[in-house]
Chains A and B, each alone.
Chain A
Amino acid sequence: MLYAIQSLPFLWDGLLITLQVSALVVLLSLIAGVILGIGIVYGPPWLYWPIRIYSDFLRGIPLLVLIFFIYYALPLIGVNFTNFMSVVVALSAFEAAHIIEVVRGAIQSIHRGQNEAAKAIGLRFTQRLLHVIAPQAIRRFLPPWINAVVDTVKGSALVSLVGIVDLTLAIQQVIGRTYVPMPLYILGAIMYFVINYILSSASRALEARFAYIRE
């Protein structure tokens, strides 16, 4: 038990890696997901199908399979990423696919009369998107997106399987030295729980804040 407490700094480092990976993936997947999501809703047909196939494919395979594939395959095609970069790419690609669907759902749930009214007063595409569509879409976008963020944090645990010393691998390593699995697993679970619980509480608060926009 004493060992467990002495290992806390080590676990802390692992936690930082988990947070770094998660934050990076959230940012990259958000940017890619929103851009591609807008593209799939408003873009021409030749844009729709590639994005659609990408989204369906990546959502149809397990995250673990994607991580292994990218981790092993990238070097073979000459791309020399570090382990860290490979998993960030894999996780971001995976989450982006989900965010595309969230964006698409949010935009398409807005009544088409809104877009028509915006056109009727002479707003251009970017203006319509910025002043009419986005303010309404954001409310529908945030709860599922925060779910995706929680999934990202949970998914980040898989990086431990390709050698990144995140919280999960840190726990494994400490257990390897101290032979007290249960308390450490529980401690790790609590740490993940705290992070994700804070995120989902934020989601509930945001939902309440935007509830004044009734249909």
Chain B
Amino acid sequence: MTYHLNYDYVWRHFSRLSWGLVLSLELAFVSILIGMAIGLSLALAYTSGGGFVRRAVAGYVEFIRNVPLLLLVYLIFYGVPSVGGFAYDATESFVITLSVYAGATMVEVFRAGLAAVPRGLIDAGKAIGLTGWQRLICVRLPTMFRIVLPSLSNAFVSLFKDTSLASVIAVPELTYGAQWINTNSFRVIEVWSVVAPMYLVTGYALLFLLQRLERRFTVH
């Protein structure tokens, strides 16, 4: 069967793809911010907390990391409103889902980062008379952030790729735009041959920019 490439339809509706890409980036960005907030608080709770807290945090992390993201998307979008009695739109729901998902990764990242802060720095802080809180804010957290920057960059790019799942609940991000063009024109090879590189190039660009940022802040 011969197939003639024709990119007309794709270019005519390119705005769905370009705006979709923007939305994907926004979704990833908001989710990682919320995820970091969740992750940091839980990591701190875990590090300084007792058995019950640790088990609860570990339970949350294990649960999220072992369940497919798709199922979580459905659970939060379709499942929660049915018991809560409210409705939210797809985008809100997806951001919540992805934030919760990111949060689980972030707990691990921050927990490992906190553990990796050299003892010597903490001891130095004690030696100059800083209190526990002061040591946390002035010594441990800043150091930890520098240590975890590479992991954060990778997590962000991962989340960016995960935003493709928003398409299943009709959030108009990049993959949804691609599916729309796909089902309306059957220009399969054309549309995916544009969209796949869009993800690829954006991913690399993000990594590159984040690495530039890292270099300003790295710990040796």
| A residues at B contact (CB < 8 Å) | 57, 60-66, 68-69, 72-73, 76-78, 150, 153-158, 160-161, 168, 171-172, 175, 180-182, 185-186, 188-189, 192-193, 195-197, 200
Chain A residues with CB under 8 Å of B1's CB are 76-78
Q: Which residue of A lies closest to B196 (CB)?
A: A61
A62:B75 contact, CB within 8 angstroms: no
B188 sits at the interface (CB 8 A): yes
B75:A186 contact, CB within 8 angstroms: yes
Q: Which residue of A lies closest to B84 (CB)?
A: A182
B192:A73 contact, CB within 8 angstroms: yes
| B residues at A contact (CB < 8 Å) | 1, 3, 62-63, 65-72, 74-75, 78-80, 82-83, 161-162, 164-165, 167-168, 175, 178-179, 182, 188-189, 192, 195-196, 199-200, 203-204
Chain A residues with CB under 8 Å of B75's CB are 181-182, 185-186, 189
Residue among B72, B189, B192, B204 with the most chain A CB within 10 A? Answer: B192
Given contacts A76-B188, A186-B75, contact A197 B67 (CB under 8 A): no
**Closest Cβ of chain A: how far from B169's Cβ, in Å?**
12
Contact among B161, B162, B189 for A76, CB-based, below 8 A: B189
Contact among B63, B78, B182 for A189, CB-based, below 8 A: B63
Q: Which residue of A lies closest to B168 (CB)?
A: A161
Chain A residues with CB under 8 Å of B162's CB are 62
- Given the complex of chains A and B, what is the CA–CA distance between A72 and B188 in angstroms? 6
- Given the complex of chains A and B, what is the CA–CA distance between A166 and B142 in angstroms? 45
Q: A76-B189, A168-B74 are in contact. List 16 more A-B contacts (CB 8 A).
A: A61-B196, A62-B161, A62-B164, A62-B199, A73-B188, A73-B189, A150-B66, A154-B67, A156-B68, A157-B70, A175-B78, A181-B82, A192-B66, A192-B67, A192-B68, A196-B66
Q: Which residue of B lies closest to A195 (CB)?
A: B66
Contact among B62, B71, B164, B195 for A157, CB-based, below 8 A: B71
Chain B residues with CB under 8 Å of A76's CB are 1, 3, 188-189
**Closest Cβ of chain B: how far from A169's Cβ, in Å?**
10
- Given the complex of chains A and B, what is the CA–CA distance between A180 and B199 in angstroms? 36
**Closest Cβ of chain B: how far from A89's Cβ, in Å?**
15
- Given the complex of chains A and B, what is the CA–CA distance between A158 and B168 in angstroms? 10
A65:B178 contact, CB within 8 angstroms: yes
Contact among B65, B68, B164, B178 for A168, CB-based, below 8 A: B68
- Given the complex of chains A and B, what is the CA–CA distance between A172 and B161 in angstroms? 24
B182:A68 contact, CB within 8 angstroms: yes
